[in-house]
Amino acid sequence: MKRNLEKQEKVKPFRLVKYFTFTSLIVIFIGTVALSFANIQWARQMQLKKNEAYALSIIDNLNRQIFAQFILPAVGKYGKIQLRDEEQFEWMDNLVRSTLHSFKVDMIHIYGMNNVISYSFDRRMVGKKDVGGTTYEDARKGKVTSNLSHRGSFIEIFAGFPKESKLTTVSPLRAQMPVSRMSGPIMGVAEIVQDMSEDYHTILRFQVRVITTSAAVMGVLFLVLLFIVKRGEGIIEGRARERIRLKEQLSRAEHLSSLGEMVAAVSHEIRNPLGIIKSSAELLKKKQPASGNMTALPDIIVEEATRLNAIITDFLKFAKPQVPNLSLCRVEEVIEKTVQLLSLQLEQQKCRVETVFSENLPEILADAAMLHQAFLNLLINAVQAMPQGGTIRVTVSSKEKRVIVVIEDEGRGVAPEFLTKVWSPFFTTKERGTGLGLGIVKTVIEAHEGTIQIENRPAGGAIVTMVLPVRPEDASWKPS
């Protein structure tokens, strides 16, 4: 129940912050990826336009070189252009290849005015008719066209990064001199194919780097924000735990206040007749002859009245705990005094106490009498847990403004289902117990702003750990 309360206290104020933080990260990352894809598309369009302009400059340069260095000299030498002639074809091939050797051209076709391929890097294409299509017809009319084609799997093409990408540019060839800006009549059509695969792959690698970098940055931001959120959760959780502790103390105080008023009234009504019963039994014992058969009855009445008075005293201690009268004292001295007080009982029960005190233990600000009562109850419990005798180990150490007291016994331990109930008032597994002993111990330790817990030892028996602040203002500090 307490854990659920802590979780609710922690989650409620921080849920919106966590939602906003992680949602913002996701939105930023998605936006970054979308922006990177938009930039890639822009880069691809820029690259396409660049390659189109590049192809036109190649065609323009080739146009000038062919007209000036092949057509005019060939007409003067042979009287006409006839590329089926081997000598003219070789002349043309050398001119075209020397002109394009430094340019990235994958294929070139030159068409005549009758839609027949007059020249090509692939000699098998020379002489083929009617392969130009609509782009050829557009070029004959003076229009330049470009067409981008892709080859690859469906996924590669769908993702925008095919295995092979080629740009085909078709432009008219005109009769013009190298130094003239005037364009003459169209004398043919040039078709240039450029392989853009490497350019696209370069863009792909750039996009992968952009997305990887974005993911890395988002990952770092995520870790930083996660650290901040966890740190904030820790702070909120600590405050929630403190609020719950204060609520429990307030509820407990209100409960004990009501219980104390009731117990005080009942105890007052019981103690008066109980005192009369006890004194009457003692008087009756004195008046009876020593050899009578009824001499044991007064002793039983006195013993039970004394035990009942002790139970009432425990009720009063638990219901109306004392306010500690703080003064400097040493925990090890209080424990030694308590052990000495129990020496006779320890000897009768065949138990021994082994104390281990660390060096340089600090003095603490506490009520020595109340600590003595708490240690006494714990040691008596340890003795009662070992009816066949055994060793009780008491260890006292200090760590960063706190004194730690550990009491271990060799008994049967506490049943796991009872570990959370042993501090509850009136809970006991003993036949004649009141169930207030450990409740009083917990009240005393908490009155000193300390903590106490009980658990079972692996080797058998119980171990009680108490942590007491050296000064009350150190109580909110927690050791690492």
Q: What is the pLDDT of residue 232?
A: 76
On the question of pLDDT at 405 being above 90, the answer is yes
| Enclosing H/E stretch for 119 | strand 117-120
Which comes out higher in pLDDT, residue 128 or 200?
128
Contact assessment for residue 403 and residue 470, using Cβ atoms and an 8 Å cutoff: yes
> Is the pLDDT confidence value at 170 over 60?
yes
Quote the pTM value.
Answer: 0.43
Tell me the CA distances in angstroms from 94 to 105, 169, 171, 177, 191, one per residue in order: 15, 22, 21, 20, 18
Does any domain span residue 396?
yes
* pLDDT band at 16; cut points 50, 70, 90: low
- Report CA-CA distances (Å) from 370 to 252, 313, 334, 430: 19, 14, 10, 24
Q: Is residue 347 part of a domain?
A: yes
- Would you say residue 240 lies in a domain? no
* Closest to 121 (Cα-Cα) out of 137, 139, 136, 100: 100
Helix (H) or strand (E) holding 191: strand 186-195
Determine the angle formed by the axes of helices 296-319 and 437-447, rounding to 10 degrees.
30
Is the pLDDT confidence value at 214 over 60? yes
Count of CB atoms within 10 A of residue 335's CB? 21
Helical ranges in 349-474 per DSSP H: 368-384, 437-447
The CATH number of the domain where 471 resides is what? Answer: 3.30.565.10
In a domain, 315, yes or no: no
What confidence score (pLDDT) does residue 356 get? Answer: 93
Q: How far apart are CA 256 and CA 224, in angstroms?
A: 47
In this predicted model, which residue has the larger pLDDT, 472 or 85? 85
Give me the pLDDT at residue 24, please. 75
**Structure-token pair, residue 91:** 């002349």
User: What whole-number percentage of the chain has pLDDT above 70?
Assistant: 79
**Res 480: pLDDT:** 37
Whether 266 is in a domain gets the answer no
Mean pLDDT of 320-348: 87
pLDDT reported for residue 265 = 66
Alpha-carbon distances, residue 38 vs 42, 43, 50 (angstroms): 6, 9, 18
Total domains present in the chain: 1
pLDDT at 282 over 90: no
Q: Over the stretch 422-471, which tens digit does the pLDDT of each residue have? A: 766 655 555 555 556 677 788 888 888 898 888 888 888 889 999 999 88
User: Using CB atoms within 10 A of its CB, is residue 328 exposed (0-12), middle (13-18) or buried (19+)?
Assistant: exposed
Whether 452 maps to a domain, the answer reads yes
The answer to whether residue 6 scores a pLDDT higher than 50 is no
Helix and strand numbers, DSSP H then E, in the chain: 11, 12
Query: How many angstroms separate the first and last alpha carbons of the chain?
Result: 26
DSSP label at residue 388: T
Q: Does the residue 476 lie in any domain? A: yes
| DSSP character string of 245-304 | HHHHHHHHHHHHHHHHHHHHHHHHHHHHHHHHHHHHHHHHHHHS-TT-TTTHHHHHHHHH
What was the pLDDT predicted at 407? 93
> Tell me, what amino acid is at 149?
S
Q: Please state, rounded to an integer, the average pLDDT across all residues of the chain.
A: 78
| d(C-alpha 80, C-alpha 58), whole Å | 26
Stretch 315-324: mean pLDDT, rounded? Answer: 65
Give the percent of the chain with pLDDT over 90: 12
- Asked if the structure places residue 184 within a domain, the reply is no
Number of Cβ within 10 Å of residue 60's Cβ equals 16
More confident residue, 468 or 236: 468
- The residue whose two tokens read 């289902």 is 417
Expressed as residue numbers, the domain containing 351 is 324-480
pLDDT tens for 38-82 read 777 777 778 778 878 888 888 888 888 888 888 888 888 888 877
